[in-house]
Amino acid sequence: MPDEAQSGIELFVHCAPRSDVKAKVIALYYRQSGAVHYNSLSMEPAKKGWHMAVIPADKVTGKVLQYYV
């Protein structure tokens, strides 16, 4: 993920799991600054073993976005 993103624009998140990780589902959890609960998105397989999810534009607001995979 980039260090900074423009507010109000979809944010594409990519993840490359280690080759020894045999997960059936990879999920991205994220929350906006000040939020108590995390939102979740399933990460879809992409080319070359990457997984991808898109955080909706209306969720990309404020100065901080916390996330984990």
The pLDDT, as a whole number, for residue 6 is: 75
The pLDDT, as a whole number, for residue 68 is: 93
Between 2 and 31, whose confidence is greater?
31
Per-residue pLDDT at 4 exceeds 80? no
Instruction: Write the pLDDT tens digit of every residue in 22-57.
Output: 888 899 999 988 889 999 999 999 878 789 999 999
Per-residue pLDDT at 2 exceeds 90? no
* DSSP letters spanning the chain: --S---TTS-EEEEE---TT---S--EEEEEETT-SSPEEEEPEE-GGG-EEEEE-GGG--SS-EEEE-
